[in-house]
Structure 1
Amino acid sequence: MRSRLPPALRERDFALLWVASGTTGLASQMILVAVGWQVYEIHRNPFDLGLIGLAEFVPLLLLALPAGQLADRVSRRAIIAVALVVDTAVAALLLVVTVADARTLWPYLALAALTGAAASVSAPALRALLPELVAPELMASAMALRAVSWQSAVVAGPVVGGVLFSALPELPYAVAVGLFLVAVGCVLAVRRRPAAVLRGDETFGWASLVGGVRFLLRTRMVLGAILLDLFAVLFGGAISLAPVFASSILHVGPVGLGALRSAPAVGAVVAGVLLARRPLRRPAGPTLLIVVALFGVSMIAFGLSRWLPLSLAALAVAGFVDMISMNIRATTVALVTPNELRGRVMAVEMVFIGASNELGAFESGVVASLVGTVASVVAGGVATIAIALAWTRLFPSLAHLRRLEDLQPEPVRVA
């Protein structure tokens, strides 16, 4: 039975961390549905939902760099475990708020900010810990499995959370507490390893704090991979406009909207399972640019479609190729970054990812309001294709990247 598992899942410590990621993702998605419903019911104002998102995003901007430095100084496993304990406490407090039938917004805002802070602190440590648990030749498979775990939670979590909330509003939070506790146990069961430490000539100061930024600026391959993802999502990501397509263009109602929202995750899960079983063998750099261009093509098809099955297929393809792109980017960043800088580099990458998601939704809305929804999506797809073509000249080291498993960490330079 064990031999039938993907190679990365045969590694005990990675398997534990994978289970922890899956249970955490499922719990978080369940909470997202329950909180969204309760917050909207307070004033029935969509602006309140935006405030919840803002409360979660602000800690990312404030804590990302310090969190990255922390992940390079103390036990990454301990950071993740403490953050999960905070998540457990937040779920328990949301349970209390629900039992008390609170009808004010501030408890939800405060707990959303606490959730954002925990995520901001734990994410660099989690991403930096993965390369310590698996061999370089298994990194691509491990990254794919981790993404499958998250995307599966994105698909299943809202459904499970909605069903539980319909039965009893307290249930999603009670189940989430249990899931978070399982995650804590899994993380603590990871065998102790020496904590990653800063180089002896560094102190806990500004120069060390921006060490990840300096590394990115001088390492063109890593910088190109992160910026490619940033611009592709910023210009090509159009899922935030799905309500407009469902209501005014495809005329498919709430059920169709749910299908549109789920389609990219379904495509991503399929790609992730394939990558976990059979990691990428062809040249990684050209493949990365091709799948980013295909992401743009799929967005153009989605923007022009007036038929729900075609729209779903286009979004599923977008999710499929986006998963391949993410897998190549994440594996490249993890393997090229030296261990003593991984926390700080992952923190900077996390800011880029968060900014691309938030600003991408804003950009789509602004452009759609100016030139129309269809034109906005099509233009974004064209821009994504142009970016993929431009990267062949701007970042040749990335464009000509061959086998991922041959990547080696860049040497750490003394500032």
Structure 2
Amino acid sequence: MPSLFQHPNFLHFWIGQIASSFAFQMLSVGIGWQMYDLTNSPMALGLVGLCQFLPQLLLTLVVGHVADRYNRRLICVCTRLTMAMTVAILAYGNITATISANMIYACAALLGTARAFEMPANQAILPNLIPNVLLSRAVSAMASAREISVIAGPALGGLIYLLGPTTLYLSSMSCFLISCIIMFFLRYNFTVKSKSPISIEHLFGGLTFIRGNKVILGSVSLDMFAVLLGGATALLPIVAKDILHTGPWGLGLLRCAPALGALLMSVYLARHPLTHSVGKIMFAAVAIFGVATIIFGLSENLILSMLALVLLGASDMISVVIRSTLVQLETPDDMRGRVSAANSVFIGSSNQLGEFESGVTAAWFGVVPAIVIGGAGTIAVVGLWMYLFPDLLKRHTLDKANE
């Protein structure tokens, strides 16, 4: 770990990621709680996730091309500035008492659009900052940066929300601006390695690459379907309020519990990288994710619910590190933007679209059955994917050259 942070550019990038993640996690508490207060509807919470996901899906081909052709650092600066301005709109809506569900939906769509451009650019920068031999540790360290903010952000966001949603939104906006400034001064030399004319083949290059690599396709799709079915974060406001009978502070604790498990696991993996049986480890981790989801769905105790979420976060982190490292190591640099954009669709499907799925199933079957069914579905996906992707199951090391 010390050798990794001896690279000043990586340290700079790492701090900027913490600030941005911190802003988004605080914001998620505010939007979720305020939307449920305004509508008292699980479906409304799901629609917020859908509004964030749709721009990411629709812009996949465009954002990948942009990340491969233009300065990735400046893309991150512009997108984070856009997110800060979007949060300012929410703050203004509360100051003027004009906030509404439709305003939140519109801002969620703007945030989704900005994140659609940010994610592939942000992911594609990392391999250019450190040697390949440190990439697995770097992925774990970046994950720890995100999880540090996911732990502190929601907990602090829940407390700040007690002072009013305006205060929370202004705090989130400030963190986005800080991240924007940090990224602006990142030392990153951008070069375009390919100036071939834009074509359909070029735009679809990322999806084509993933489809042709069964190990990458299996890992990203496994993670997508597992979290799509088993993710219940959109329902946390309902679980906190109606099942566990707690307030915004309790919601903050629930939101940071998965991050605590993920942080502990990411720190461990940064110091002890996975060196063998990575395919089997990934399948086992996703199965544990499903079991933890079922325990969370059946729990009526805040402590037990938090413990289940800690286990859920730790197991998910193993999957994230394996998937992210495989994608980065096996993708040429001039394609990393397009491949990262395609990968972002899988991630977005598992997160934002998963929130929509959770909202719909909760509206149909109830909150507890929706969570339990999702966890069982995750376990079923693990069994099916072990059959469909034997190459992933047999994968021994992260770097194929070391097999």
Match of 1:352 among 332, 346, 350: 346
1:84 aligns to 2:84 (yes or no): no
Q: Could you say what the CA RMSD is over the residues aligned between the two structures, in angstroms?
A: 3.1
Q: State the one-letter code of the partner of 2:335.
A: L
Q: 1:411 corresponds to which residue?
A: none
Alignment of 1:21-170 (within 5 A): 21-36=17-32, 51-103=47-99, 107-167=103-163, 170=166
The alpha-carbon deviation at position 366 of structure 1 amounts to 5.1
SS at match of 1:194: coil
CA deviation string 1:161-182 (max 9, x = no partner): 3444444654434443432332
Using the size of structure 2 for normalisation, the TM-score is 0.86
Of stretches 180-189 and 165-174 in structure 1, the one that deviates more from structure 2 is 165-174
The unaligned stretches of length 5 or more in structure 1 are 409-415
Change (3 A) 1:7 1:196: farther
- Secondary structure, counterpart of 1:403 in structure 2: coil
Q: How does 1:222-237 map to 2 (within 5 A)?
A: 222-237=216-231
In structure 2, distance between residues paired with 1:20 and 1:168: 27
How far, CA to CA, are the matches of 1:129 and 1:260 in structure 2?
A: 32
Larger displacement relative to structure 2 (39-48 or 146-155) = 39-48
Counterpart AA for 1:153 = S
1:412 aligned residue:
none
Check 1:143–1:242 CA distance in 2 against 1; reply closer, same or farther (3 A cut).
same
Q: Structure 1 residues 166, 291: CA separation in 2 closer, same or farther (over 3 Å shift)?
A: closer
**Which has the larger displacement, 319-328 or 180-189?**
180-189
Give, as a single letter, the amino acid of the residue that structure 2 aligns with 1:88: A
| Structure-2 change in CA distance of 1:236 and 1:407 (3 Å) | farther
**Is the radius of gyration larger for structure 1 or structure 2?**
1
Please give the alpha-carbon distance, in whole angstroms, between the structure 1 residues aligned to 2:148 and 2:23: 12
Q: 2:262 maps to what in 1?
A: 268
Choose 42-51 or 128-137, whichever is displaced more.
42-51
Normalised to the residue count of structure 1, the TM-score between the two structures is 0.84
Amino acid at match of 2:113: A
The CA distance in 2 between the partners of 1:91 and 1:368, in whole Å, is: 28
User: Residue 205 of structure 1 is aligned with which of 177, 181, 199?
Assistant: 199
Q: Which amino acid counterpart does residue 389 of structure 2 have in structure 1?
A: F
User: How far did residue 332 of structure 1 move?
Assistant: 0.6
3-state SS in 2 of match to 1:203: coil
1:149 maps to amino acid = A
Q: Which whole-Å CA distance do the structure 2 matches of 1:301 and 1:48 have between them?
A: 25
Amino acid at match of 1:112: A
Distance 1:104 1:299 in 2: 32
CA distances 1:57-81 after superposition (whole Å, capped 9, x unpaired) = 3321221220011111111112111
Greater shift after overlay, 209-218 or 142-151? 142-151
Structure 2 gap segments, 5+ residues each: none
1:235 counterpart letter in structure 2:
L
Give 1:194's aligned residue.
190
Tell me: CA distance 1:227–1:38, structure 2 relative to 1, closer, same or farther (3 Å): closer
Q: Percent identity?
A: 38
Letter in 1 for 2:133: E
Read off the aligned partner of 1:191 and give its amino acid letter. R
SS in 2 for 1:325: helix
| Contact residue 56 and residue 117 of structure 1 kept, 8 A | yes
Shift in alpha-carbon separation, 1:89–1:266, aligned structure 2, 3 A:
same
Q: Secondary structure at the match of 1:404?
A: coil
Superposed CA deviations along residues 362-386 of structure 1, whole A, max 9, x for unmatched, are 4445556666665554444344334
Amino acid at match of 2:86: V
For residue 176 of structure 2, what is the aligned residue in structure 1?
180
CA contact (8 A) 2:151 2:257 kept: no
